[in-house]
Amino acid sequence: MGEHALLSASSSSRWLVCTPSARMEEKLTDTTSPYAEEGTRAHALAEQWLKEYVATGYLDEGTLAMDAHDTDGEMMEAVRRYVDIVIEKINEARTVSPDAEVHIEYHLDYSPWAPEGFGTGDTVIVSDHYIEIVDLKYGKGVPVSAVGNTQMRFYALGAHNAFGICYGYDNVKMTIVQPRLDSVSTDEISIAELLAWGTQIRPIAQQAWDGKGAPVAGVHCRFCRCRTTCRALADYMLSSVKKDFAPGAELEDWEISDIILKAKEIKSWLKDIEDYALSEALSGTTWPGLKVVEGISRRKITDEDKAASILQLNGYEHDTVYKPRELKTITELEKLCGKKHFSELLKEFIEKPEGKPTLVSETDRREPMPLQDVADDFDDTLLEDFIQKGDKTL
Ligand code: SF4
């Protein structure tokens, strides 16, 4: 058995829609990223602390302090938030069912529903009342909801497969904790609903295992390893803004909206293709009509200390030679201290200026910007500009 299942729970939102994707991805090398490695470290820390809690009934502050030496503040704080939530859930389960079992990093086999399917549940709490699966998502790029989440449902099937024979629970709770987004999302369904879902997806999983079906592109392609070479995705991207456009010489308003709504997704896909094509070209692939050239480069000083001392010896003042000392960015400092500690230390020195006007989908959760304010700002800028230029027409 490999380290990862072909029909992994984490990619299930993809292969349940695009059934050949799992076999297509299998042929490509799985690459890791700094984000994935960071996630692995956060999971290892959470596992260590929770195993200690389950074994001893408390979290040893000494161990936490030791871990703080090798871990940045942000990770310490985020993992601690997840661990505290899990501890609350363990206590909640033990209140209704004192002999509730807790398993950390538990192997979950859901192969009765998806061939050779297995995964690892970060935390699995089992009692006679319910099962609860709690998943840590360390990333903060994309918010993930537990509601209808297929990864969590496969884990729940795996947990039921392991414990259903010994326990008489009726419900399953599935919780995703994204501590860096301050997000906790839970879905709760009955075991009957879960099993009905399992029956419904079983033939689709078999099709995915067999690599059958036509590729189906959509939002689920975002993390697919085939995204740089997939024709279905290319068709989807390129046709997505060129559907039923009107015949006139100028674009209609709704057509411009349509282009803007798709722009972010298309830009990110184009960048992935450019990166892929360049890396292949550097490995020897020749792309028709393309060649590799040296990009624009900037001159640089090879020994900054020496260069500065020569300039100062020649009469240039320290302050004119050096840039002013610059504080790291808020994101870097939050990583260093942890979000909470950073806020405690520097709250009064942080302000959030108004963001630049941006066009987004009307389904975006942000409130529309009052346009009168924007117009006023615009007029003020114009006015200042005219005054500075000494325009006498005003
Ligand atoms: S990129 Fe999308 S359409 Fe293509 S194989 Fe992957 S999931 Fe399927």
Tens digits of residue pLDDT in 272-306: 999 999 999 999 999 999 999 998 899 999 999 99
In CATH, what number is assigned to the domain containing residue 42? 3.90.320
104 lines ligand 1 (CB under 6 A): no
Domain assignment present for residue 325? The answer is yes
Domain assignment present for residue 294? The answer is no
Cα torsion through 75, 172, 218, 136, rounded to 10: 10
CA of 33 to the centre of ligand 1 (A): 20
Residue 384 pLDDT grade (very low, low, confident, very high; cuts 50, 70, 90): low
86, 195: one domain = yes
CA of 230 to the centre of ligand 1 (A): 6
229, 202: one domain = no
Percentage of residues in the chain having pLDDT higher than 90: 67
Number of the ligand 1 atom closest to the C-alpha atom of 227: 1
Domain assignment present for residue 3? The answer is no
> What mean pLDDT comes out for the span 63-92?
87
249, 316: one domain = no
338, 362: one domain = yes
74, 198: one domain = yes
Q: Which residue has the tokens 């503040």?
A: 73
Residue 1 pLDDT grade (very low, low, confident, very high; cuts 50, 70, 90): very low
> Do β-strands 171-178 and 130-136 pair in parallel, antiparallel, or remain unpaired?
parallel
User: How many domains in the chain?
Assistant: 3
Residue 354 pLDDT grade (very low, low, confident, very high; cuts 50, 70, 90): confident
Q: Name the residue range of residue 358's domain.
A: 304-383
Tell me the pLDDT of the chain averaged across its residues: 89
Residue nearest to atom 3 of ligand 1 (CA): 217
Number of the ligand 1 atom closest to the C-alpha atom of 24: 5
CA 84 – CA 90 distance, rounded (Å): 10
Q: Which residue has the tokens 């066009």?
A: 359
CA of 41 to the centre of ligand 1 (A): 29
- Residue among 23, 24, 225 to mutate when testing ligand 1 (max atoms within 8 A of CB): 24
Residue 117 pLDDT grade (very low, low, confident, very high; cuts 50, 70, 90): very high
Task: Please give the pLDDT value at position 393.
Answer: 37
Given a cut of 90, whether residue 330 has pLDDT beyond it is yes
Task: Please give the pLDDT value at position 71.
Answer: 80
Task: Please give the pLDDT value at position 391.
Answer: 42
83, 203: one domain = yes
Domain assignment present for residue 298? The answer is no
Task: Please give the pLDDT value at position 377.
Answer: 55
Q: Decide: helix, strand or coil at residue 219.
A: helix
Task: Please give the pLDDT value at position 40.
Answer: 93
